[in-house]
Structure 1
């Protein structure tokens, strides 16, 4: 690699939780070397999208009308996340005659040697010489972004009494759900802990949060000092992380737990309905690193080095690119 700025494509289907992983890794690489980042969103026409990845033989021909083109000039670094990107990632090295360094984030469920590098969460147990496994997932949270968010939302968070408790609520997935009964118990436990400490809450919900659970949690937590974000206007999520003394996060989200752990603040995991061996391995890994603990109804402090897994993965990706370029 010469000293010219590199071009990075961060490719996903555009869903925030998926895009932020590719974009977060791209931004981390760009903090290490001059680079320009291009976001690419890929989606397929409906009938073609139903085909398994192995049968999507001509993916560029069947992109949906609102998708971004995947055409030359090719980037120096391709970072992709999500199932929709796989037909492109599997062919990118051939299309570019090996000039583009191809990185797939998450477990691709294809042999890792099909890519130049794979960046999966360690709890997925993907192995190979080109696997850069990390705790959790890549993300966009940095100390600088948290400081900026705190300034932008100062009027919202500054009046809140300490300790401030960020409450990050996920929702329904293949493994987890939040029933009305679970939501009621969570609300009661959170409210009691915050009231005992005479603190405040900063609550945000996922798009996946069931409406009944959202309503129950909001109705119980709104009377407390604090903010329950209704999804309208600018998103204060980064400001909540920056302002928090403690972070409570539901067990369904690798992204939110990893982002919370990058702050160095105590992270408590909230139990949901359901079970997942993969997520149990993830939470056990966080506990071994003394990053997160199960929420038992009380708030207390401990210290740990903030997770910097995204920066670590970016350093490894860039080193592999440079080694291949000679």
Structure 2
């Protein structure tokens, strides 16, 4: 008898970093060792997603299929190309696998047993869970450990410390020359007010943007990651008194609010109504503030949707086990 069984869990995506990160964040709250499965439909099947069908080469009975047996207790999927595969997995397992999908699948609530969306998405339904922020892999335990043992480059910076997390051009945003000048000027003003800067670029940060921000840090004695060695992302978040995030990354916004520290949002050119709505929700909650070249805001209760989503999936799976006659086994 197992009163609190640990499920086997798959993470099912096409390998896109943002989608896989969110799925792993939830999966790691459910199982010690989630299994990563990546789909790679060929054309024209990729063009038919999310409705499908899946690429026959990746059918469950084909060698090397991302849907090969043994099937999991729970499958957590995300991304347009994964929708049809999650449906195929449900059918191949004769309904035994409990399916969860993160973000709007664009095929309605029937795409999975449970669907998670953020507040700024429109999808609603009896099986749709809505939270303010997206899931991620941060935990309060990881943040506490990083806070207790800061690396030397952070320990050397006096407080208040501001972590600067810079993204880059995306599908909806562009960092124009005026945007770069505006961000640099705001950082100059922030540092001149007494804040100590520490930060890092992302994989999307283009050279002119990274160079301009690095120059500000150099002028004010801040610490800017040069891309060598271990990524300092966790250490930066854990040891900051405020966090500046560029609005091109909703994942970084969610991760920043999990710290409970004020989030300063810099918006480059472009945008999207959903991102605008997310930022507005965070501002109303008192977690985020438009970046004006100054330290704004105060600490608040950390906003972490990941355990909420994981708990909803676990409860749904346990109900599903009971319906299949597996409760207590």
Question: Which stretch has the larger CA shift, 244-253 or 274-283?
Answer: 274-283
Structure 2 unaligned blocks of 5 or more: 323-329
CA RMSD in angstroms, aligned pairs only: 2.1
Q: How many angstroms does 1:111 deviate by?
A: 1.1
Q: How many angstroms does 1:123 deviate by?
A: 0.4
Q: Is the 8 A contact 2:11 2:76 kept in 1?
A: yes
SS at match of 1:323: helix
Task: Determine the structure 2 residue equivalent to 1:118.
Answer: 115
The counterpart of 1:225, out of the listed 204, 221, 240, is 221
Q: How many angstroms does 1:102 deviate by?
A: 0.5
The counterpart of 1:248, out of the listed 240, 244, 255, is 244
1:199-238 CA-partner distances (Å, limit 9, x unpaired): 3212222222222222222222233222211222211001
Structure 1 unaligned blocks of 5 or more: none
Task: Determine the structure 1 residue equivalent to 2:79.
Answer: 82
C-alpha distance in structure 2 between counterparts of 1:271 and 1:126, whole Å: 26
**Is 2:317 aligned against 1:316?**
no
Task: Determine the structure 1 residue equivalent to 2:288.
Answer: 292
C-alpha distance in structure 2 between counterparts of 1:230 and 1:299, whole Å: 25
Q: Is the 8 A contact 1:6 1:36 kept in 2?
A: no
C-alpha distance in structure 2 between counterparts of 1:21 and 1:225, whole Å: 34
TM-score, normalised to structure 1, is: 0.90
1:251-306 CA-partner distances (Å, limit 9, x unpaired): 12111011000000011111211132111111111112111111122103413211
Q: Is the 8 A contact 1:48 1:62 kept in 2?
A: no
- Structure 1 runs of 4+ aligned residues shifted over 4 Å read 150-153
Q: How many angstroms does 1:308 deviate by?
A: 2.1
Cα–Cα, structure 1 residues 5 and 270, in superposed 2: closer, same or farther, change >3 Å? same
**Is 2:325 aligned against 1:325?**
no
Q: Is the 8 A contact 1:179 1:213 kept in 2?
A: no
How is 1:84-233 mapped onto 2 (pairs within 5 angstroms)? 84-150=81-147, 154-197=151-194, 199-233=195-229
Task: Determine the structure 2 residue equivalent to 1:19.
Answer: 20
